[in-house]
């Protein structure tokens, strides 16, 4: 059987790190994952997914992430049940994390926190890559303030040289 989950999202709160009676570390948190489609008002919804991570990975995760951190996780879905104080059976579905990646630098995370949650990366236009094959920083727009920001720009406009491509360079 296959039970594999890969998610990319932001933490809705700081991870809650605890220790079991036998001394094993466990951290729980909720991951907000944007939906792919927008609603009729043009707003993008999100799913809030409960996650659990164990042992040394839980300690590392809690030490290096905080509310709003962009993370990628890989794990499996697990469902458990328990009886609450009223005797009702409660079903809990959560992702048990096997592996995670931090998808933004500490500087970007701290900068976002000081700007009230707005992302404002520093250090140029070169986004860093992550283990999920994408960019950890949103694309930058070099349009002047007050200018036409929706107009596509030529990425080779300021290179100062022409690009020489021969037929041998093409993959087909």
Per residue of the chain (172 residues), give pLDDT as tens.
999 999 999 999 999 999 999 999 999 999 999 998 888 888 888 999 999 999 999 999 999 998 889 999 999 999 999 999 999 999 999 999 999 999 988 787 777 767 765 554 444 444 444 444 444 444 334 444 444 555 566 666 666 666 666 677 666 5
Q: What pLDDT was estimated at residue 59? A: 93
Q: Where are the domains of the chain?
A: 5-114
Q: What pLDDT was estimated at residue 23? A: 92
CA distance 44 to 32: 12
CA distance 105 to 119: 12
* Secondary structure in 3-state letters for the chain: CCCCEEEEEEECCCCEEEECCCCCEEEEEEEEEEEEEECCCCCEEEEEEEEEEEHHHHHHHHHHCCCCCEEEEEEEEEEEEEECCCCCEEEEEEEEEEEEEECCCHHHHHHHHHCCCCCCCCCCCCCCECCCCCECCCCCCCCCCCCCCCCCCCCCCCCCCCCCCCHHHCCC
Cα–Cα nearest to 18, from 67, 43, 55, 68: 55
Per-residue tokens: 130: 């992550």
Identify the CATH number of the domain defined by range 5-114. Answer: 2.40.50.140
CA distance 104 to 10: 11
What residues contact residue 61 under an 8 Å CB cut-off, 6+ apart? Answer: 15, 27, 53, 97, 100
Tell me if 44 sits within 8 A of 32, measured CB to CB. Answer: no
Q: What pLDDT was estimated at residue 151? A: 59
Q: What pLDDT was estimated at residue 155? A: 61
pTM of the model: 0.62
Q: What pLDDT was estimated at residue 154? A: 63
């Amino acid at each position: 059987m296959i039970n594999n989950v890969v998610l990319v999202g932001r933490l809705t709160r700081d991870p809650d790190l605890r220790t079991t009676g036998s001394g094993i570390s466990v951290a729980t948190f909720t991951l907000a994952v944007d939906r792919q489609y927008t609603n009729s008002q043009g707003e993008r919804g999100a799913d809030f997914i409960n996650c659990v991570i164990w042992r040394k990975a839980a300690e590392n995760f809690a030490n290096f992430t905080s509310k709003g951190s962009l993370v990628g996780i890989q794990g499996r879905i697990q469902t458990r049940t328990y009886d609450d104080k009223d005797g009702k059976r409660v079903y809990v579905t959560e992702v048990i994390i096997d592996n995670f990646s931090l998808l933004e630098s500490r500087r970007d995370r701290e900068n976002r926190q000081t700007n009230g949650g707005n992302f404002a990366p520093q250090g140029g236009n070169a986004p860093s890559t992550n283990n999920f094959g994408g960019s950890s920083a949103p694309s930058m727009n070099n349009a002047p303030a007050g200018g036409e920001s929706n107009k596509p720009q030529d990425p080779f406009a300021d290179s100062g040289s022409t690009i020489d491509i021969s037929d041998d360079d093409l993959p087909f």
